[in-house]
Structure 1
Amino acid sequence: MTVSYGLRTVLDGVALAAPPGERLGLVGENGAGKSTLLRVLAGIQEPDDGTVTRPAHVTYLGQVPDLPEEGTIRGAIDAALADFRVLETRMRTLEQAMAGGEETVLDEYGEVLEEYERRDGWSADARAARALAGLGLGDLPEDRRLATLSGGQRSRLALALALVVSADLMLLDEPTNHLDDAAVDYLERALAEQRGALVVVSHDRAFLDAACTGILDLDATLHVAPDGTTSTGPARYTGDYTAYLGAKASALARWAQAREAWEEAHAEAKAVLSTGSRQVGHQGYRAPRDNDKFIGHFLGERKDAAVSRRVRDAENRLARLEDNPVPPPPEKRAFTGLVEAGPADGVLVSVRDVEVTGRLRLAALDVTADSRLLVVGPNGAGKSTLLGVLAGVIEPDTGAVRRQRRLRIGYLPQEDAYADPGASALTVFAAGRHGPPEEWRDALRRTGLLHPRDLDKPVADLSVGQQRRLTLARVVSEGPQLLLLDEPTNHLSVALVEELQEALTTSSVPVVLVTHDRWWRRRWDGATLALSPTG
């Protein structure tokens, strides 16, 4: 399957099969085509090349819920259960016909009953009630108007209705958005009970680990055909996210080995051509005397022939290598600036008796050169406010905050905002630095966080994921001595989040972290600060 937008190909050579019971997670860099693939599978978008075979009942839930503005919650539930109502009505009609002696409808009744049971129509209403309760909507009255629901409530309602349908194929795009931990736990259990196939796009690594039986990685992976030819493209991995991480690491190691072997063979072939071509016609031994001219001539010809064969073999080998190159594997370079940052000593930021009215109250906190602090607490506890106070972008109403002089703080706010949305990505990256923006082009490119074609785009034209990458690039490239990260996983691919998490583990830069990422929180190896609401 191939899909292109203009001159840019987003999906190339993608193939997948999802039998009943399969729960397939889609991962890949921002812009790899994950959402596009879901739309193609749903029949909303046609591929440029290739075919799609889908079952009769398909449910698609995009990141923006497709709910009407008019109507009530009860009406939305009834619309989701409409197929079951049709089947129930048809069964009643056929039952009456059979009771009247019409045996010709027996086969049709069996088909309708089989369809109803296959989709578990008997428990459809109970499933609807469980889904609403499990996703935190159980207390809403059924006569509540849809137009009065918040964005998060609308998303959760659309997800609940998708679970009720019990489709043969369910397609979900970032279903854990707007869900708290309890709702995600319910969703994982509900998906495990689905009888049909599931294909899901998610940045939630803990969700992928709990919910998926396989992972399709749309990022390039090296493939070696039986004839030895190589290509790069998507790869499918069996098992949950944990299994995927191990298999992906092994695949990258094999790729690196294959590239090294190719480079060695390429260099060897070129060396043979370089030295061998100079040897042809030069025997390299003493001039023959009259009485051994024939022997010298004979041996010289044999040597020239051997060298010529070596040159021809090297030429053929070099041609084969260059016709089938092994590209370099992707580099992990986005966060090298964290490893290279200059260390600081002692207490970096000291907080005493700080209060931001209605948002944060904290008696004392010292952030030191070896701090690794995870800040947790419910919504409204002041986690983001604390990071803003530490960074100096929020002034407390009372209390004292002291920072080391000339301390380089890398602050990543939860939301990316730009004073001039019309400024280019390069201009934003270079703002406040010495020299014109053009002098910083190579520095931004070296991070690998933005594609070179996007460096001159206005930031307003970048996707939210690209904007997040741009802010991250600026933070990590300044050699921070303290990192303050507020939801750094938002809008990033799982691969980039894994790279960031690894970099923070190996770097000596102290970090204060706020994250909803359950995968990261469960594996946090530093201290934890729990905040409570001030009200």
Structure 2
Amino acid sequence: MPQPALLAHDLVRTLGDRRVLDGVSLTASPGHRIGLIGENGVGKSTLLRLLAGTDEPDAGQVVRPPDLGFLQQEAPYDAGATLADVLDDALREARADLAALERLTEQLARTAEDAPGYAALLHAYGARLEQAQEREVWDADRRAALVLDGLGLGAFGPDRALGSLSGGQRGRLALAALLIRRPTALLLDEPTNHLDDEAAAFVEEQVRALPGAVVVASHDRAFLDAVCTDLIDLDPAVEGPVRYGGNYSAYLAEKHAERERWERRWAEEQEELVALRVSARVTAHRVAPDRGPRDSEKMGYGHRAGRVQSQISRRVRNAARRLEELERSQVGEPPRPLRFASTVLAAPT
């Protein structure tokens, strides 16, 4: 089983006086593509920043790989940089892999198999070769051109200044650079913003082909359906954030059944709470006989009244105990259901 590329345990983050994330955990292994879903404000972007290390949790821990990539909603580019600068940075690790393989190949050719250090040299070559194959470094330049074309950036020359690009174009360039780079773990915040249908379909194909782990926050149902292997719902739930296996369509079916169970449990508990409160009031004020005893009844009356009062007291105690227990453990009222647009249609800018 592959080792996780990204781990988060029991993350807590408070912004101002509001706790945005409370005890969120996540494990993403190579080949896993996890979608973060929920209404605006539930903490999707906050969780991505914690995973990326651009923000720190109030509690909890994140273990991330050194070559993690993060697509933010605002591309952090210097206006004076050029397209060539971005591409050189995206291809830097692939070119470093190739240079390292060439050095190791030369060292192996000069080293006898029975020489000290040959085994370590061979192991280093094998590890670097495996990494290079995962990143498809021999195909990196061709892939870079393909990705730029797929995102509508292929017509721009290498000397094009980033300051001359629109916000949408810079966002697409940031996404292109990450798809070219192919990091061990990739975090995407609304990756289909500024994309038309054709470009969004291209990104879906590229993300599905990535060998590493992917965590994506998106309101684009079509993208989540096409890409995700798992979903984490950050909307309020009885047991907190829930991870679902499968894409968005599979999530909808399971979420619907889960919500029905939540609504049914909440309604049953509310009904029981009302009944217990009424019972406690009525039973506490109940008296046994509503008339005084005759002289001939006085001997048996005291014993009978005591027994009735004992029963009433026991019922009051039982009702109060159950009422206190239920008020302490009752589930919250289900919030309004989460709704997505069926797709995202945004013209490129």
Question: Which bracket does the TM-score occupy, shorter chain normalised?
Answer: 0.7 to 0.9
Which of 48, 54, 65 is the aligned partner of 2:58?
Answer: 48
**2:308 is aligned with 1:303:** yes
Residue equivalent to 1:161 = 177
Task: Please name the residue that 1:131 is paired with.
Answer: 147
> In the alignment, is residue 234 of structure 1 matched against residue 275 of structure 2?
no
Q: Which amino acid aligns with 1:322?
A: E
Name the structure where helix makes up a greater proportion of residues. Answer: 2
Contact 1:217 1:236 in 2 (8 A): yes
**Shift in Å, 1:72:** 3.2
* Alignment partner of 2:193 out of 177, 196, 204: 177
- Using the TM superposition, give the Cα deviation of residue 26 of structure 1 relative to its aligned residue in structure 2, in angstroms: 1.4
SS of the residue corresponding to residue 238 of structure 2 reads strand
The answer on 1:95 being equivalent to 2:105 is yes
| Cross-structure match for 2:332 | 327
1:59-112 superposed Cα distances (whole Å, 9 cap, x missing partner): 001011123333432332121111121121111112111111162522222222
Letter of the 1:323 partner, please give it.
Answer: R
CA distance in 1 between counterparts of 2:226 and 2:336 reads 29
**RMSD, aligned α-carbons:** 2.2
**More off after superposition, 237-246 vs 78-87:** 237-246
Aligned residues between the structures: 329
Do residues 517 (structure 1) and 336 (structure 2) align? no
Deviates more, 1:65-74 or 1:209-218: 65-74
Tell me if structure 1 keeps the 8 A contact 2:192–2:344: no
Cα offset, 1:311, TM superposition = 0.7
SS at match of 2:27: coil
Question: What CA distance in whole angstroms lies between the structure 2 residues aligned with 1:80 and 1:217?
Answer: 32
Counterpart residue number, 1:262? 269
Name the counterpart of 1:445: none
CA distance in 1, matches of 2:30, 2:105: 30
| 1:108-127 pair list within 5 angstroms | 108-127=124-143
Q: Percent identity?
A: 43
Instruction: After TM superposition, give the deviation of residue 162 of structure 1 in Å.
Output: 0.5
Using CA pairs under 8 Å that are at least 6 residues apart, name the structure with larger relative contact order, 1 or 2. 2
Matching of residues 161-310 of structure 1 within 5 Å: 161-223=177-239, 233-279=240-286, 282-284=287-289, 288-290=293-295, 292-310=297-315
* CA deviations over 1:258-283 (Å, ceiling 9, x no partner): 2111111211211221111112xx32
**Aligned letter for 1:267?**
V
Equivalent residue for 1:26?
36
Question: What SS does the aligned partner of 2:172 have?
Answer: helix
Normalised TM-score (structure 1): 0.58
Contact kept in structure 1, 2:12 and 2:23, CA below 8 Å: yes
How far did 1:122 drift? 2.9
Residues 331 and 154 (structure 1), Cα distance of their counterparts in 2 relative to 1, 3 Å cut: closer
Native 8 Å contact 1:18 1:198 kept in 2:
yes
Q: Which runs of 5+ in 2 are unaligned?
A: 1-10, 113-117
Task: Give 1:310 shift.
Answer: 0.8
Shift of 1:144: 2.9
Q: Is the contact made by 2:220 and 2:340 (CA closer than 8 Å) also made in structure 1? A: no
Moved more, 53-62 or 150-159: 150-159
SS of the residue aligned with 2:30? Answer: coil
Asked if 1 retains the 8 angstrom alpha-carbon contact of 2:221 and 2:340, the reply is no
- Matched to 1:314, the amino acid is A
Of 246-255 and 156-165, the range deviating more from structure 2: 246-255
Tell me, yes or no, if the aligned pair for 1:221 and 1:251 is still in contact at 8 Å. no
Counterpart AA for 1:167? P
CA distance in 1, matches of 2:289, 2:31: 72
Q: Which runs of 5+ in 1 are unaligned?
A: 224-232, 333-494, 502-515, 519-535
2:77 to 67, 86, 98: 67
Cα distance in 1 for partners of 2:210, 2:130 equals 17
TM-score (norm 2): 0.87
Q: Secondary structure at the match of 1:220?
A: coil
Aligned counterpart for 1:83 among listed residues 80, 93, 96: 93
CA deviation string 1:32-72 (max 9, x = no partner): 22111111101111111111111232100101112333343
8 Å CA contact 1:34, 1:201 repeated in 2:
yes
